[in-house]
């Protein structure tokens, strides 16, 4: 029901992942039932089928880029909408079943993205260790806890969960790395505008039109809608067919965003609305609209046009 907080949450598991850590920052999750899923499609299928009220899945990483499987799920299947974003600092630790020297570590389990983000540190501090790819940060911690590997690159929540000794903290090569997660629900009224919101869209351009992508960007630019992210994913139809994912500053309730959406609807093969939701704090302020492109300016122009049509002005 609209307005009823979710109580059943599913997230990309297993337990002890950054996804679980991110979900625990959502206030409603404190009193909710949290269930791990084996994959992003499994998590979103549970949401679509009604087994869960909300799902938390990764969208992008500041180092590794987009999470393609999440975008593909948004583009296909029954529609889903983002109701909240969570931006989480990615802080890795090196952990082992018992306290030991780094010189004695010969095998390190790591998720491929985690291993890539800690490659230089591992090369400098444990050059004799072989890095073995595993399915998740939690799987790495489990492997170390069971003695399959000497150590694991994982989140501190994983080390705590599986009672590992932390051999080193903050081992990522880029200490400012962040991962962005989306809290997703079945379609319903979006959260109310806050004045600092994002709207996410999946846009299918008309491939038989020259300059189709430029036309999409123009619909946003002429209305002062700030494009904060654009990603492309193949549609699967044939080579060269793509769907574009856009993050735009603003809310569907804003006048300029509403006009932009109408424009996109007119010129695109299809537009899938993926939600308007509060922008998570990133330590920066959203850009201010150019003169004439604030919401009040659009409202004033609409009122002026209405008066013209009513014959109230010459």
- Predicted pLDDT of residue 153: 96
Q: Are 165 and 95 in contact (CB under 8 A)?
A: yes
Helices (H), the chain: 18-23, 40-49, 68-75, 112-117, 119-125, 137-145, 156-161, 212-221, 255-267, 295-309
- CATH number for 1-90+177-184 (one of 3.90.340.10, 3.60.110.10, 3.30.9.10, 3.40.190.10): it is 3.40.190.10
The Cα-based distances of 129 to 97, 109, 151, 170 in angstroms read: 16, 10, 9, 18
* Span of 79-83, 276-280, 309-313 with lowest mean pLDDT: 309-313
- Is 1-90+177-184's fold the same as 92-169's? yes
The pLDDT of 238-255, averaged and rounded, is 90
CATH 3.30.70.100 fits 190-314, yes or no: no
pLDDT of 1 reads 43
Task: Quickly state the pLDDT bin for 112 (edges 50, 70, 90).
Answer: confident
How much of the chain exceeds pLDDT 70, in percent? 96
Q: Could you report the per-residue pLDDT of 11-70, keeping only the tens digit for each?
A: 988 888 889 999 999 999 988 999 999 889 999 999 999 999 999 999 998 877 888 899
Determine the topology of domain 92-169 in CATH.
D-Maltodextrin-Binding Protein; domain 2 (3.40.190)
Q: Is the pLDDT of residue 88 over 50?
A: yes
| Secondary structure of residue 26 in the 3-state scheme | coil
Query: Are the C-beta atoms of residues 9 and 35 closer than 8 Å to each other?
Result: yes
The tally of CA atoms less than 13 A away on the side-chain side of residue 223 is 27
Over 50: is that where the pLDDT of 239 sits? yes
d(CA 10, CA 230): 27
Confidence of residue 4 (pLDDT cuts 50, 70, 90): low
Cα–Cα dist 251/25, whole Å: 23
Confirm if 94 and 166 have CB atoms less than 8 A apart.
yes
Q: Give the closest residue to 152 by CA, choosing from 173, 172, 135, 138.
A: 138
Neighbouring C-alpha atoms within 13 Å toward the C-beta of 250:
25
What residues does each domain of the chain span?
Answer: 1-90+177-184, 92-169, 190-314
CA distance 88 to 81: 20
Q: What is the pLDDT of residues 198-231, one digit of tens each?
A: 999 999 987 767 788 899 999 999 998 999 999 9
With 50 as the cut, is the pLDDT of residue 124 above it? yes
Instruction: Provide, rounded to the nearest whole percent, the portion of the chain with pLDDT above 90.
Output: 63
> What integer best gives the mean pLDDT of the chain?
90
């Amino acid at each position: 029901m609209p307005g009823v907080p979710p109580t059943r949450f599913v997230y990309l598991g297993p337990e002890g992942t950054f996804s679980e850590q991110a979900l625990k920052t959502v206030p409603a999750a404190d009193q909710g039932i949290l269930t791990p899923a084996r994959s992003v499609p499994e998590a979103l299928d549970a949401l679509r089928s009604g087994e869960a009220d909300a799902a938390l899945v990764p969208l992008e990483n500041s180092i590794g880029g987009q999470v393609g499987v999440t975008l593909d799920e948004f583009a296909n299947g029954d529609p889903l909408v983002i109701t909240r974003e969570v931006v989480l600092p990615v802080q890795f630790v090196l952990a082992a079943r018992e306290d030991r020297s780094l010189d004695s570590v010969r095998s390190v389990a790591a998720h491929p993205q985690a291993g890539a983000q800690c490659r230089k540190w591992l090369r400098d501090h444990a050059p004799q260790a072989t890095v073995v790819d595993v399915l998740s940060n939690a799987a790495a911690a489990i492997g170390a806890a069971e003695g399959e590997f000497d150590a694991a690159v994982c989140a501190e929540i994983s080390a705590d969960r599986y009672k590992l000794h932390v051999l080193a903290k903050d081992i990522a090569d880029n200490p400012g790395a962040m991962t962005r997660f989306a809290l997703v629900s079945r379609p319903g009224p979006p959260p109310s505008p806050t004045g600092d919101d994002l709207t996410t869209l999946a846009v299918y351009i008309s491939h038989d039109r020259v300059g189709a992508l430029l036309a999409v960007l123009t619909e946003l630019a002429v209305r002062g809608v700030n494009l904060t992210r654009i990603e492309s994913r193949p549609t699967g139809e044939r080579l060269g067919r793509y769907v574009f994912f856009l993050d735009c500053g603003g809310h569907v309730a804003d006048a300029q965003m509403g006009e932009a959406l109408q424009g996109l609807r007119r010129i695109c093969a299809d537009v899938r609305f993926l939600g308007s939701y509060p922008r998570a704090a990133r330590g920066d302020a959203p850009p201010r609209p150019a003169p004439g492109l604030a919401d009040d300016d659009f409202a004033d122009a609409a009122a002026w046009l209405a008066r013209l049509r009513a014959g109230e002005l010459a």
